[in-house]
Structure 1
Amino acid sequence: MNTPLSHAAAPAVRVLQSEVLSDDWYTLKKTTFEYQRRDGSWQRLSRETYDRGNGAVLLLFNADRGTVILTRQFRFPAFVNGSADGMLIEACAGLLDGDDPEACIRREVQEETGFQIQSPRKLFEAYMSPGSVTEKLHFFVAEYQAHQQTGEGGGMAHEGEDIEVLELSLAEALAMVHSGAIQDGKTIMLLQHAALTGLAQLL
């Protein structure tokens, strides 16, 4: 019989060895550890983890017009994995880089889209690829009006960013998920949340 999640005991882990494989862009480690299984026995395992820090992501929306702001930019890993041009359509996002999640997402929205947002609302947190990547994302939404776009956006050129700002209807964005034109996981999660909740109820 399964233990209720609210009463599940924390797993016992004994770290035996940790080796840094790469510390260039971010940190890749190989760790050997022992994990106590549910039957009480111990099993020795080895895993590689990629630590790039935690991040935040935000969906900009306009409830009156039924629109959302997304971005399009080149993603080399997507290109390597078979994307024809490596371009992905995404919600605005970035790494915390020492900031709290709300300060981070305000900064990233300004840099990427040119919008100065008011009162972002946090929805939830999620691990995006827990089999190998340590990153946890903080998910936000915020309403926008045209007058809040005080710059062109586009990202930081010295960091290799060349970001196009897109304004789409929510219906169009959802259709692009179903057609495969939008394949970014965090963006799909936010769009589906908006569809289930309704734009007028997001804040």
Structure 2
Amino acid sequence: MQNPEINIINTEILSDNWYTLNKVTYSIVKKDGTTETQSREAYDRGNGAVILLYNKVSGTVILTRQFRLPTFINGNTTGMLIEACAGLLDNDNPEECIKRETEEETGYKISKVEKIFEAYMSPGSVTEILHFFIAEYSSEMKINDGGGLEDEGENIEVLELPFEEALQMIGNGKIMDAKTIMLLQHLRLKNII
């Protein structure tokens, strides 16, 4: 199918509280040549970056655990989610963002990161592109306890787990975060650790 012709007719802000929820009305020329008007809602929270820290010598990875309200609402009885360190770009470039977030959330100060890919995480409803990174860490890079920023309401637990255990946690449902699963699988597929 060729790229369809799209014409934005109207954008209405439904909510501008935490992030922005828009209702967009547009026309689309379908493959049979007819034009159809559609309306969809799109949630704009900005773009983000995520990183998985790994240590080849010890065979470990650094993950975080924190409360995520949407998962609680959708059946996660504790609301706690184990994830790779991530954050919104906040007008930074992706590499600077992820270095900042790594220090804030995990307490590790890293200087060298490797970007591996970009992905839309929920393209049916969210505009966000996520930039994926990996980086090696060592105990010498630990400069504080991490845990996130109190003024942002973050209460993050830092976890250092054996890589094999983290992989098993995907299968047993203890890790259910898509970005984290993608990064762990990347390390396995590329035989990095």
TM-score range, shorter chain: over 0.9
Runs of 4+ in 1 over 2 A off after TM superposition: none
2:182 is aligned, of 160, 169, 189, to 189
Give RMSD over aligned pairs.
0.9
Which AA in structure 1 matches 2:20?
T
> What are the Cα deviations for residues 34-80 of structure 1, in whole angstroms up to 9, with x where unaligned?
11112222111110000000000000000111110000000011111
Q: TM-score, normalised on structure 2? A: 0.97
List runs of 5+ in structure 2 lacking aligned partners.
none
Match of residue 125 from structure 1: 118
Aligned residues: 193
Match of residue 162 from structure 1: 155
Which AA in structure 1 matches 2:56?
A
1:62 is aligned, of 47, 52, 55, to 55
* Aligned-partner Cα distance in 1 for 2:52–2:31: 40
- Give the secondary-structure state (helix, strand or coil) at the position aligned to 2:70: helix
2:3 is aligned, of 7, 10, 13, to 10
2:84 is aligned, of 72, 91, 99, to 91
Which AA in structure 2 matches 1:119?
K
Match of residue 66 from structure 2: 73
> What are the Cα deviations for residues 138-175 of structure 1, in whole angstroms up to 9, with x where unaligned?
00000000010001000011111100000111110010
| Amino-acid identity (%) | 59
Which AA in structure 2 matches 1:159?
E
Match of residue 138 from structure 1: 131
Residues 38-57 of structure 1 mapped to structure 2, 5 A cutoff: 38-57=31-50
